[in-house]
Chain A
């Protein structure tokens, strides 16, 4: 399958998935007890105001018609007003999404480097002490919920050792660089403010690490397993017999095929990490999309909930397509195929 055909097919498929997701979200939003119009204006508003608003929000129509209105608004980027911030949900998302993305990408870097690194280390020293330590570590990493890691890191590095800041994105007293990309680290570099850059970086470490632990452990396990398997293959023995240096064998022959499984899982984990971010951002008071979504969930702010879930659905789909592209580059035999059921 060539690239254009593959992308258009996946794009077409994604539209249906997102439409379906929007129906699910709409149903969740509408089965909730209570009158959205009443919730929007507050308990003290007079009845005629609520009636007027009901009319305006199309709440007197049938459900499919309501969905039609909701969808056409959503397609234009209008998700209504957030009950928590009293601002347009679209504006909120524009503000909070970069913070989450910065956290998620930073944690992806940790996951990829540490996970693959530990996996390689473990595979090279198979069944030795190092290997066993890494395996125990990765077991614990996989089974510990991210919010437990968040609390442990906060306690250890934040309070006991007092090495790193635990709240928010910047310390008090440091001026926030002008928002260009929304990534605090990139913005401060663009502004040439090295102090702010260092501070933003320090603030990133603990939440990103808490978020990365689970998938890092998973990556380490998978990399170890596939490297150990590939080490027994004939082409490795052939390479060694030809006198190719061990470094070249590991780096060029062994790593590439071994990373296919790792990268496939990493894509899933990256998206899963966005949902763990719901708890981690809450604990570290990280002003990101997930904390916004979490607050919306706790206060039943349905406009915001719907928008956050849809945005995450889009991210999930984009990540999946990207992973398939990378995997097909790593192993041309697999070609462009879909990781999904079709």
Chain B
């Protein structure tokens, strides 16, 4: 009986096996897309994000006045114009088109989000994997206690403190936020990995003599990834908000560069009369973050990842 069963498995050639895997992969993807596309909010989020990213990439071609955002530019004759047909969002107090500057502002916000996440996700995930797999050992204690320290204070405050001791610019604000953000991934992956390490497939790998890196990266990691991706999508929004907050208080992107937070801050001096200077960049932040949040929520429903 057992012989027979084994033979019926062995008749599959490698090629057939690969074809089967490919098919089931395609089916899973199709099912996931069906589930995702049934929720209109996820679609709105996805489309918003896509539009914002495209606008940011093609900013020089889609903005009416790219020079208002890229070089030190002044046009005092047109300063402080309310929104009109030539300047959709109006102009600021030195005559720059706020629409063009907001689109360029997307570039800085997206850069911030991408760079921070590409720094913190690998770091946080690696530490979480190690701590989770070696749960109960000294390595676990060391990593998780350090993580706890960073989680003991809301990220914005330490990011502000770190940014304050550095020269204020985009790069340093990204460093400050990154230093604060990795523990959230460590904690997330720690929980996932420590649950996975007791599964049979992990002990099978251990028994067959697989190396620790193989177990960590080829066995456990793939089973922890979907919550991580979901969190990344949601975090894009939060990182952008924190970046804008740092810029808002003058610790991020410096004028004349068009950071969205910087633009909101510069407009607060002219409230309530020239309300458009602050309001439109603020709305730009909201649209940007809303897109990533809707997208992230769609992904979360898809993976049904409660942990994120």
* Chain A residues at the B interface, C-beta cutoff of 8 Å: 13, 16-18, 20-21, 24-25, 28-29, 31-32, 139-140, 142-145, 147-148, 151-152, 154-155, 158-160, 271-272, 274-276, 278-279, 282-283, 293-294, 297-298, 300, 302, 305, 308-309, 312-313, 316-317, 340-342
Judge whether A139 and B294 touch: CB under 8 Å: yes
Q: What is the CB-to-nearest-CB distance from A166 to chain B, in angstroms, rounded to a whole number? A: 10
> A297's contact among B147, B161, B264, B290, by CB below 8 Å, is which?
B161
CA distance A28 to B251 in the complex (A): 16
B286 touches A276 (CB 8 A): no
Contact with A along B171-209 (1 / 0, CB 8 A): 000000000000000010011000000000000000000
Cα(A279)–Cα(B245), bound, Å: 8
B152 within 8 A of A: yes
Cβ B160 vs Cβ A278 within 8 A: yes
B125 within 8 A of A: no
**What 0/1 readout, one digit per residue, does chain B (35-55) give for beta carbons within 8 Å of chain A?**
000000000000000000000
Q: Which residues of B contact A342 (CB under 8 A)?
A: 144
CB–CB B250/A140 < 8 A: no
Q: Tell me the bound Cα distance from A341 to B275 in angstroms.
A: 46
| A341 x B264 contact (CB < 8 A) | no
Provide 6 A-B residue pairs closer than 8 Å at the C-beta atoms, listed in order of the A residue: A143-B289, A297-B164, A305-B161, A309-B157, A313-B152, A341-B190
The smallest beta-carbon distance between A157 and chain B, in angstroms, is 11
CB distance from A107 to the nearest CB of B (A): 15
Write out the residue numbers on chain B whose beta carbons fall within 8 Å of the beta carbon of A144.
285-286, 289
Mask of B224-252 contacts with A, CB within 8 angstroms, 1/0:
00000000000001000100110011110
Interface residues on B, range: 35 or more
Instruction: Contacts A145-B285, A151-B278 given; indicate if A25 touches B161 (C-beta within 8 A).
Output: yes
Residue of A whose beta carbon sits closest to that of B132: A341
* Contact indicator A20/B145 (Cβ below 8 Å): yes
When the two chains form the complex, which single residue of B161, B249, B286 contacts A279, counting CB atoms closer than 8 Å? Answer: B249
Q: Which A residues lie within 8 Å of B147 (CB)?
A: 341
Chain A residues near B250: list those with CB within 8 A.
298
Q: Is B148 an interface residue (CB 8 A)?
A: yes
Question: Contact at A21–B153, with CB atoms within 8 Å?
Answer: yes
B100 within 8 A of A: no
**Chain B neighbourhood of A28, CB < 8 A:** 161-162, 165
Q: Which of A16, A283, A300 contacts B165 (CB 8 A)?
A: A300
Please report the C-alpha to C-alpha distance between residue A272 and residue B150 in the assembled complex, in whole angstroms.
14
A110–B65 CA distance with the chains assembled, in angstroms: 44
Give complex CA distance A17, B144 in Å. 11
CA separation between A29 and B275, bound complex, in Å?
Answer: 38
B158 touches A145 (CB 8 A): no
A residues near B157, Cβ cutoff 8 Å? 274-275, 278, 293, 308-309, 312
**A145 in contact with B152 given A16-B145, A151-B271 (CB within 8 Å):** no
Find chain A residues with CB under 8 A from B153 CB. 21, 309, 312-313, 316
Q: Kindly state whether residue B223 has any CB partner on chain A within 8 Å.
A: no
Extra contacts besides A148-B264, A275-B156 (16): CB < 8 Å: A16-B145, A17-B145, A20-B145, A21-B149, A143-B237, A144-B286, A145-B241, A151-B268, A158-B272, A159-B272, A297-B161, A305-B164, A316-B153, A340-B148, A341-B144, A341-B187
Residues of A contacting B294 in the complex (Cβ-Cβ under 8 angstroms) = 139
Inter-chain contact B145/A145, CB cutoff 8 Å: no
Contact between B152 and A32, CB atoms less than 8 A apart:
no
B63 interface residue, CB < 8 Å from A?
Answer: no
Which residue in A20, A143, A272, A282 is a CB contact (below 8 Å) of B290?
Answer: A143
Q: How far, in whole Å, are A313 and B148 apart by their CA atoms in the complex?
A: 11
Contact of A143 with B264 in the complex, beta carbons under 8 Å: no
B272, A155: Cβ atoms closer than 8 Å: yes
A275 contacts which of B154, B190, B275, B278 (Cβ < 8 Å)?
Answer: B154
Residue from B150, B154, B275, B282 in contact with A271 in the complex, judged by beta carbons closer than 8 Å: B154
Answer whether residue B210 sits at the interface, using C-beta atoms and an 8 A cutoff. no
A283 — nearest CB in chain B belongs to which residue? B268
Provided the pairs A20-B149, A154-B271, A309-B153 are in contact, do residues A31 and B165 lie with their beta carbons within 8 angstroms?
Answer: yes
